[in-house]
Amino acid sequence: MSYALRLKTAMDISRDAERRIRNTTGLKISLIVSEHEEKTPEELINLVGSTLKLEKGFHRNRIRRTDLVEGRHISALLLQRYFPVLSFTAIGRLFGQDHATIIDAVKRSKNLLEIRDLQFTQKYITAQNAIEQWIND
């Protein structure tokens, strides 16, 4: 079973458990699903930056240089994938941005991947491979 499928299954189970608890007790709880507890979102962002050879702190930088913007967009998309419990607001806090900026970044990234933009897709795959190796270490 692939990592993505295992994670989706775990998320489905946790959502069902949250709903059952809420319906039975009236308590609203949040169950966090993470196969890589010791890994943090900040580490993922730093790994993307180092993999793409971006300057340290690139994710908080307001400079609109293409490589930095793409690095932030790729980081946001990968955070959404590997840390699905993070809301757009929480991801935005990591970047010093609001949730609308992160939603736009994720939407643009998905669009670039769908139209198979060669440069962006290569960067994304490179970063994703580095993260997969990082998770499995």
Number of structural domains the chain divides into: 2
Q: How far is CA 50 from CA 18, 35, 47, 59, 124, in A?
A: 37, 23, 5, 12, 13
Q: Are 56 and 70 in a shared domain?
A: yes
24 lies in which domain range?
1-33
pTM of the predicted protein model = 0.72
C-alpha 24/C-alpha 46 separation (Å) is 42
Residue type, 122: Q
Lowest mean pLDDT among 35-44, 84-93, 95-104, 106-115: 35-44
Q: Are 108 and 43 in a shared domain?
A: yes
C-alpha 132/C-alpha 2 separation (Å) is 11
Q: Are 6 and 62 in a shared domain?
A: no
Nearest to 70 by CA among 27, 34, 105, 22: 105
Q: Are 71 and 14 in a shared domain?
A: no
How does pLDDT run across 8-61, given as a tens digit for each residue? 788 788 888 888 888 888 887 776 666 555 788 999 999 999 999 998 988 888
